Amino acid sequence: MNTMKTSRYAAMGVAIAAAAAGLSTGTATAATGPVSIWIGPGPDLLSCKATTQKCAVTAYTSDMSTPVTITVNGKTIASGVPVPSSGTAASGQFSTMWVPQTVGTNTVTVQQGGNSDSATLQIMDNNSPEAFAQRTEAFLQAQVCKTGSSSMSAGCMNGTGGVH
């Protein structure tokens, strides 16, 4: 008799577990992981630093099914579903080009579902004396690096990395 009760309880337990498993598979949602932003240089020396200069903005995410929205100062500049990215640790990316139009502090944000990441950039006027000075400095630095002057070539190994 004990065996009958145990078998009946075991059968009921299996039936309840099977019913619960059926419910959970129908209500499962795609896992959303963190999203991160990368802002990289464009074709010009002052890309991502000055107005009217192209700037690459990329969102990296592990969720390939939820759309990503990229905003600048709260205004949407691009939205779409990430695509597989080759050669990176992240499984997906969504990229766009942004051309800064506003001088001063600009906040670029990527958002996917409830996850977001942002970076703040200080943008100068492309025609300002500061922009001219930075272009002149970069030109002179390139000339020093070409000639191999040992007293001033310490900065010749700088990279073209992006922002966070």
User: Which residue did the predictor score with more confidence, 48 or 14?
Assistant: 48
Q: Is the pTM of this model over 0.95?
A: no
* Rounded distance between C-alpha atoms, residue 139 and residue 34, angstroms: 39
**3-state DSSP call for residue 11?**
helix
Q: What is the pLDDT of residue 144?
A: 86
Residue 163, pLDDT above cutoff 60: no
- Predicted pLDDT of residue 90: 58
Cβ(101)–Cβ(64) under 8 Å? no
pLDDT greater than 70 at residue 159: no
Residues 41-86: tens digit of each pLDDT: 777 889 899 999 999 999 999 888 999 999 999 999 999 999 987 7
Q: Sign of the CA dihedral 57, 62, 64, 65?
A: negative
From residue 52, how far is each of 61, 95, 97, 98, 110 by CA, in Å?
28, 18, 12, 9, 21
Cβ-contact 162, 41 below 8 angstroms? yes
Instruction: Tell me the average pLDDT across 4-33.
Output: 38
Range in 96-110, 118-132, 136-150 with the lowest mean pLDDT: 136-150
Q: Which positions ≥6 away from 29 have C-beta within 8 Å?
A: none
- Token readout for 157 is 């190994």
Rounded CA-CA distance 75/120 in Å is 14
Tokens 């906040």, residue located? 107
